Structure 1
């Protein structure tokens, strides 16, 4: 396992562990985080762990032509019950992603250090958010890193039914219109699969990332 020093460097993802850990340690400086995302790597760790840097052997992604919007979801969108904004309340979104209770998860991987680091990236124009509002209250959203041709989704939350799905769909449509190549969802979950995301091999993801 590669242990990072102060040097701004990551080893090749080809040397990752079978589950996808590329390196341990380092820091969450803007420079290191941007190098990580541009190399197909992301941080994911618990409060009591050192920083773990991942590039899983299979990557969950959404190709925009595969976006699935169910009939019931189309009906919800057509009612215009929700207002969608982009990049207007980043800190509120990441804070809600940090504190929202999730089934089967005792805590969160979004530590105080992570919140501070991604807020710095937001100030620099790289970390962005989607907000979903109902009756002027923030009820859902997501945030991630914008690489200009790929958006790396980090986390989402819902306070009312379907709010995170609405944020995801709005982001996918926006990215498709702006000619992005894909929406990176990082690791598999059933929620994302129901929206059309699929797993591709790490080498295929890296080829798109570097194209």
Structure 2
């Protein structure tokens, strides 16, 4: 437990396979977590359902990268219970400014209606949280994130825990030991999250069909 955590220490914790959370928005302390099982989305096993493919094919949205990082974090924390407190807001802002924290945004015109954010180290993307203010908003964000990770050379999409929502997309649990093995290998890679272009809906679905 700590109420003082630097961005450097946060990255060091992630590199060891642990991550911090607060008990609530109001608490000052942060706790390190190291669960016996970790959630991941295997990048070659991502599943797009027919309904999600239909939503993506409509392409009635715009995808951006790091255009509204703070806005995404705020939307993710805008719920009755959240583990994102003031200290984490500040740390995420600092890591984003340094190039270690990324966001994917889903827009309906000028309105932010879906997205996710996470920490990048080497070839690992440590997903922190996601939100949806439209039908399948978070799932659309995940689909474009998976495509981006594939194109940029990432090998690990960490989701910390598995939810029924993530399981429908191909998310699985692995043991702590297996996760750390995957993480150690990923940290040696050189991947750039912002490098790939944002694909059209048709191209994204084509890629997913070819590799899933």
TM-score higher than 0.5 here? yes
1:57-96 alignment runs, 5 A limit: 57-96=36-75
Q: Distance in 1 between the 2:50 and 2:146 partners? A: 17
Q: Runs ≥4 in structure 1, deviation > 4 angstroms?
A: none
**Greater relative contact order: 1 or 2 (C-alpha under 8 angstroms, separation 6 or more)?**
2
Question: What residue is the counterpart of 1:195 in the other structure?
Answer: 169
Question: What residue is the counterpart of 1:44 in the other structure?
Answer: 21
SS at match of 1:66: coil
1:5-154 alignment runs, 5 A limit: 24-25=1-2, 27-46=4-23, 47-48=26-27, 50-99=29-78, 101=79, 106-154=80-128
* TM-score for both structures, normalised by structure 2: 0.83
Post-superposition shift, 1:26? 5.7
Comparing 184-193 with 47-56, greater Cα deviation is found at: 47-56
Q: Distance in 1 between the 2:83 and 2:184 partners? A: 28
Q: Distance in 2 between the 1:48 and 1:82 partners? A: 36
Question: What residue is the counterpart of 2:138 in the other structure?
Answer: 164
SS at match of 2:27: coil
Post-superposition shift, 1:162? 0.6
Structure 2 spans left out of the alignment, 5+ residues: 186-212
Q: CA RMSD in A?
A: 1.2
Post-superposition shift, 1:179? 1.8
Comparing 45-54 with 135-144, greater Cα deviation is found at: 45-54
Q: Distance in 2 between the 1:68 and 1:110 partners? A: 29
Structure 1 spans left out of the alignment, 5+ residues: 1-23
Post-superposition shift, 1:112? 1.5
The structure in which a higher percent of residues are helix is 2
How many residues align? The count is 183
